[in-house]
Amino acid sequence: MGKNIGVYICSGCEIGNCINTEKTCQVAMEEFNLSHAKVHSALCSVEGYNFILTDIEEHKLKAVLIAACSPRVKTEVFDFPDNILLERVNLREQVAWCFEYGEDMQMAADDYLRMGIVKLKNTTVSEPYIAENINSEILVVGGGISGLSSAIEGAKAGYKIHLVEKENTLGGKLNTLYKQYPSRAPFNTLTDPVLKNKLDEVTSLENITVYTSTTIEKISGQPGSFDVKLLNGKTQNLKVGAVVAAMGWEPYDANKLGHLGYGKSPNVITNEEFEKMVKENPGLSLPPNILFIQCAGSRDKNHLPYCSSYCCCTSLKQAKYIRELSPDSSVFIVYKDIRTPGLGEEFYKEVQKDDQVFFTKGVINEVLTENEKLRVNVGKTLQDEDISLQVDMIILATGMQPAGTEELNLTYRLGKGLPELKYNFSDSHFICFPYETRRTGIYAAGSVRAPMDIAACTEDASGAMFKAIQCIEAAKRGEAVHPRSGDKSYPDLFMDRCTDCKRCTEECPFGTYDETEQGTPLLNINRCRRCGICLGSCPERVINFSNFSINSVSAMIKAVEIPDEFEEKPRILVFVCENDAYPAMDMAGTKRLKYSPYVRIIPVRCLGSINKVWISDALSCGYDGILQIGCKPGENYQCHFIHGSELTETRGINIQETLQSMMLEPERIRTEFVEITDYFKIPEIINNYVETIERIGPNPFKGM
Amino acid sequence: MEYKSSIKPTLIIGGGISGITAAVELAEAGREVILVEQKPYLGGNVVKMNNYFPKLCPPGCGLEINFRRIRQNPRITYFPSSTISDISGSKGNFSVSMVTSALYVNDLCTACGKCTEVCPEERPDEFNYNFTKTKAIYLPHEMTFPMKFHIDDQYCKKEACNKCVEVCTNNAIDFAAQAESQVLEVSSIVIATGWRNYDARKLANLGYSSSENIVTNVEFERLLAAAGSGNGKLKRPSDEKEPKEIVFVQCAGSRDENHLPYCSAVCCSASLKHALTVQEKIPGCKVTIYYIDLRVTGRNEDFLKKVEENPNITLIKGKVGNVEKNSETENLIVEAENILEGKKIKHTADLVVLATGIVSNELPLNLLTTQDGFLSDDQQEGIHAISCSKKPMDVSSSVKEATAVALKAIQ
């Protein structure tokens, strides 16, 4: 490709003292016949920027290579017109600052320049994919507190909302609420359920269409153009841009709580049943002694292992209205821990003021019926005492189970609902990114995502709705959403060579690929998060991005000058995940931690985006070893693309077969996992590997 | 929805995890935002954290992604070292006065570090809660964003020394720089000024001021951090000895009418996290946590289970009444009560961590507050307080709030 490339090498920040920049310039001019290769003492200064800009204008450059500091810094400075391809080569943090001074530094700098130039030659400007007729309407599934709030808030932002509820009325669990506990000051008063206000708002907002007694037959398509088939006696087709999934929760099945007396007596009921009872008849007469069993089937490995977050406050609420409705009744609350975090403590204190509400920590040993009454034996209470209480009624504070998202009926190859994280909750695995979804454009809201109360659901509903809106807006610009937000590149498939092996469809964490009836992968670009895992998975190498491709990385691998075996300078190719490992290497440089100069680093979008062909390319070129550094896999994985780094392990088996077939040692490839703050481990990781390679000796393919 | 350029940007006050999130989320939905941060770097409190519960993963991982989102988004303008002094106007048309302190190091700084090598002055490193020192011209921390050096006005001798100016080849240092004021015209305002921990000096019975080996939970993060006082090795401050016995005091000044009447929602999980992290750093180190209630909600129950299963960690329901120093050994005597067993305990530890709670940062602005000092939900239309400026909450909930408020800001 005949691109007019300008190469600019910075000699500032010690680079000029460590390498002969003029000599590196010669590499560009002599080896690549480039006419514009120059050195400047501070490319990031105003003069430096103008120095490049003048060249772009005068020489009609199409591409610019800046060999200076890490691309993670001075990003805003090197802002050139959109049609100019820009590539940064990191001579500062990953050469000058991390290698000992010497000829190896020069060799590394020259190699990185070569790699940068060939990468540019194999890169094109990313033209965004902007689908026609991006739809801005949003489907909200579920008409409980989360669905209602989501619809209202989205409509207020000017978006048209389709609110679908399978029951014949909106409101979900709110319909059975008698009172709500306060989530803000004053904490001394219970409030009326928020349902009526929400329903009034839904009615008043013209851009909400409500569909009750309606289910979803199927959802296909992608962000900006989902096709939805609704069923309510007849079939109805909708086009929407994004979806909020707010299916809510179900109470834990109390029939499984026989040990707590459920089923033994009609006077043992659940918190939900009690609420309904009072809602239907607030004037009902309540018995003198009522006992609450907290964590009934929660925090219990035989039932729900988790805490449902809402039950403590709910029992406090019920205790409070019992005392208001029936001042002669006493209330006992047996708990494991009273969990009223944050300002909920104020409400706890309010209820504690009532001297007829008794609290004790304890374990329920036994619940027995005694004539018309109930006997509760509690162990391990305060002071390690066992106590025995006779009461008239027991209320079991049962927890919540997510209703699940299967009813979305997605036509995706990877399943009908959203993937579930744990205990059937469709939650994000990421602390920093609670709305991360593996089905782009579809966002879980409320208690289908995690156990939460009304206030939390209301908040969560807005967040999920906002992400839905954002996804539509990004589709309009042809940009990826988090974590590669703004990325305009996308996978481009050369279908003639596709063998329908389905690896891309199976390995994509986001369900980007559907399949045609013939089994051919069908790309939905707006579902794609641009991680490149499909590129890494493809044995036929038919998947490429404009700026990240089989050819561009192969060319970079081959651009490195491999010294012959007698020079005793091994070459190690290091694939580095750009999310955490690359910044860790930069930080090692910033801290001037030194490591072996025999490494050549190629940043990749994710370890999962490494294609096997690069490994064989590198080994046949004569690299002595290949190191892959990425994010931690496993239960607490840190891979931003879910299982990208884990794939290196499963794919590793195939790679070991490649090594065997080439009669090479298994140590020629190693994978290391680091966290971003593990920069201090970088020298050890690299030096250890270099030592291993030096021990097993040079790659026999060197020079062949 | 087409955003018209006539819509003014949204102002976000506070560049911690909440403010950063609100900014990137809004900008990625197509809205222009201005992010103002008092410190010279973005990241707020979380950038000082060693790891997050329950994954024990480093905050830098998510921050790196967010910094990248900021760097490449033309719709975000950010002003570090800046504060807001006045807000006037109404929803859609606010005028906001912003003051940026004198930037002695300007944007030409490349963070090459020559200045700090020649700087003769030292200052206590507030980033490491003064456990360590930096030069008067310093890089606040290894992930500083924007990546540049900063001068501590209080310790730098400026022109009288001038050594840094002489070595800086980029003319990035200018002692003549002045504070600058400007007025921002914005449509809506998000207040994400966050929190600080409760002042442990007020907890006289817990001995904070009497021993270096009694630290707060936020300080403990820096004792653990790789770039903290022990370079990743946990040492106790008084003599750099590796602790063998650590006591955590939960609700240190929380759920206490004399101090903070509320619960801070994060301290239980934070101490559980600390206990597990200690096990990674010093296998076998004995950790005891004295608590009132273990408030670890939702799926984090698994995390509590993991702690309960660890043979080196003991959880005792009981309040700590007193902590005293043994001057000879620098060890600490913790007096507590085991409520479940009805026993009084005297527990000797070589390090005590006080799980102090969350206090909302005060603002010199005319905003409505609650009796607990947090910002009220009921601000003037167009002004939204979020996250720990509004009530105590953890990182994930803060990010949820910041995303939810983005929807309010486009309504």
Q: For residue A2, what pLDDT is reported?
A: 58
Locate the DSSP E strands across A172-319: 208-211, 215-222, 225-232, 234-240, 242-245, 249-251, 268-270, 289-296
B305/A680 Cβ within 8 A: no
Interior angle at CA A152, CA A308 and CA B191, nearest 5: 75
Is residue A390 within 8 A of residue A370, CB to CB? The reply is yes
* Residue A15: its H or E element: helix A15-18
Q: CB distance B297–A451 less than 8 Å?
A: yes
d(CA A72, CA A90): 10
ipTM exceeding the 0.90 mark: yes
CB A38 within 8 A of CB A95: no
Q: Summarize pLDDT for B283-326 with one digit per residue, the tens.
A: 999 999 999 999 999 999 999 999 999 999 999 999 999 999 99
Q: Is A674 helix (H, G, I), strand (E, B) or coil?
A: coil
Strands A492-493 and A442-444: unpaired
CB A458 within 8 A of CB A579: no
Q: Is the pLDDT of residue A599 over 90?
A: yes
CB-based contact (8 Å) between B373 and chain A?
A: no
If you count DSSP H runs as helices and E runs as strands, how many of each does chain A have, helices first? Answer: 18, 30
The token pair at A451 is 């156990």
Residue of B nearest to A401 (CA): B298
Which pLDDT tens digit goes with each residue over B348-386? 999 999 999 999 999 989 999 999 999 999 999 999 999
d(CA A147, CA A139) in angstroms, rounded, equals: 10
Claim to verify: residue B274 and residue B146 sit in the same structural domain: no
Residues B352 and B375 in one domain: no
Radius of gyration of chain A (CA): 31
CA atoms within 13 A on the CB side of A482: 31
Strand-strand pairing, A242-245 and A138-141: parallel
Q: Determine which of B4, B10, B47, B64 to mutate to test the interface with A (most A C-beta atoms within 10 Å).
A: B64
* Cα B286 to Cα A548: distance, rounded to the nearest angstrom: 50
How confident is the model over A200-222, as pLDDT tens digits?
Answer: 999 999 999 999 999 999 999 99
Residues spanned by the domain of B328: 199-358
Instruction: Specify if B254 maps to a domain.
Output: yes
Domain presence at residue B151: yes
Strand-pairing partners, residue A244, are A140, A443
Spell out which residues of chain A touch residue B20, defining contact as CB-CB under 8 Å.
none
What digits encode the pLDDT tens for the residues B72-87?
999 999 999 999 999 9
Chain A residue closest to B388 (CA)?
Answer: A342
Burial, A18: exposed, middle or buried (Cβ in 10 Å; 0-12, 13-18, 19+)? Answer: buried
Tell me what the mean pLDDT of segment A10-22 comes to: 97
The residue with greater pLDDT, A649 or A99, is A99
CB contacts under 8 A, A 481-500 vs B, are 481-483, 485-486
Domain membership of residue B84 (yes or no) is: yes
For residues B158-164, average pLDDT: 97
> What count of other Cβ atoms lies within 10 Å of the Cβ of residue A502?
16
Arithmetic mean of pLDDT, B217-234: 94
Q: What is the pLDDT of residues A413-450, one digit of tens each?
A: 889 999 999 999 999 999 999 999 999 999 999 999 99
Which DSSP symbol is given to A520? -
Please choose, from the candidates A120, A119, A113, the residue with its C-alpha nearest in 3D space to the C-alpha of residue A27. Answer: A113
Range of lowest pLDDT (A256-260, A380-384, B146-150, B276-280): A380-384
Residue B4 lies in a domain: no
Read off the tokens for A53.
């800009």
Nearest CA in chain B to A423: B299
CA distance B93 to B110: 37
Question: Smallest CA–CA separation between B141 and chain A, in Å?
Answer: 10
State the pLDDT confidence band at A3, using cuts at 50, 70 and 90.
Answer: confident
Residue A640 sits at the chain B interface (C-beta within 8 Å): yes
Tell me the pLDDT band of A154, cut-offs 50, 70 and 90.
Answer: very high
DSSP state of A316: H
A349: which chain B residues are within 8 Å (Cβ-Cβ)? 261
Q: Let me know whether B161 and B263 are in one domain.
A: no
Same structural domain for residues B365 and B328? no
In-domain check, residue B173: no
The secondary element (H helix, E strand) that includes residue B196 is: strand B195-197
Mind telling me how many Å the CA of B279 is from chain A's nearest CA?
Answer: 17
Q: pLDDT digits over A275-322, tens only?
A: 999 999 999 999 999 999 999 999 999 999 999 999 999 999 999 999
DSSP string, A506-531: HH-TT--EEE-TTS-EEE-GGG----
Model confidence at A661, pLDDT cuts 50, 70, 90, reads confident
Quick check: A57 contacting B, CB < 8 Å? no
Query: Does A138-248+403-477 match A252-399 in CATH topology?
Result: yes
- Which residues on A lie below 8 Å from B71 (Cβ)? 72, 75-76
Q: Which CATH number does A138-248+403-477 carry?
A: 3.50.50.60
Domain ranges of chain A: 1-125, 138-248+403-477, 252-399
Judge whether residue A247 has pLDDT over 70: yes
| pLDDT above 70 (res A593) | yes
Domain containing residue B228: CATH number: 3.50.50.60
pLDDT at A480: 97
Whether residue B350 sits in one domain with residue B234: yes
Q: How far apart are CA A252 and CA A336, in angstroms?
A: 18
> Cis peptide before A434, with omega less than 30 degrees from 0?
no
The B residues from 15 to 54 touching A (CB cutoff 8 Å) are 17, 24-25, 28-30, 52, 54
CA distance A564 to A554: 20
A280/chain B closest Cα distance in angstroms = 30
Is B392 within 8 Å of chain A by CB? yes
For residue A401, is pLDDT > 70?
Answer: yes
Strand partners, B124: B133
Do B212 and B319 have their domain in common? yes
Does the beta carbon of A153 lie under 8 angstroms from any beta carbon of chain B?
yes
Restricting to B residues 192-221, those with a Cβ less than 8 Å away from any Cβ of A are none
Is residue B216 located within the same domain as residue B351?
Answer: yes
In this complex, the residue of B1, B56, B408 whose CB is nearest that of residue A636 is: B56
Return the pLDDT at A701.
87
In CATH terms, is domain A1-125 a member of 3.40.50?
Answer: yes
pLDDT the model gives residue B3: 42
pLDDT band at B4 (very low <50, low <70, confident <90, very high): very low
Distance of CA A404 to the CA centre of its chain: 19
B85 domain-assigned: yes
pLDDT, tens only, A104-132: 999 999 999 999 999 999 999 999 999 99
Does residue B137 sit within a domain? yes
My answer on whether B67 and B160 are in the same domain is: no
- Answer yes or no: do B252 and B211 share one domain: yes
Q: A252-399 in CATH: which number?
A: 3.50.50.60
Are B158 and B255 in the same domain? no
A450 touches chain B (CB under 8 A): yes
> What share of chain A has pLDDT > 70, as a percent?
100
**Contact call for A157 and B403, based on CB within 8 A:** no
Neighbours of B324 (CB within 10 A): 17
pLDDT at A366 exceeding the cut of 70: yes
Question: Å from A158 to nearest chain B CA?
Answer: 7
Give the rounded percent of residues in chain A with a pLDDT score beyond 90. 94
Residue B391 lies in a domain: yes
Residue B61 and residue B189 in one domain: yes
List the single residue in A with minimal CA-CA distance to B404: A463
Residues of chain A contacting residue B113, judged by C-beta atoms under 8 Å apart: 590
pLDDT of A653 higher than 90:
no
Shared domain for B161 and B183, answered yes or no, is no
Tally Cβ neighbours within 10 Å of residue A702.
19
The beta strand positions in A404-503, using DSSP E, are: 442-444, 492-493
Residues of B in contact with A299 (CB under 8 A): 301
Domain count, chain B: 3
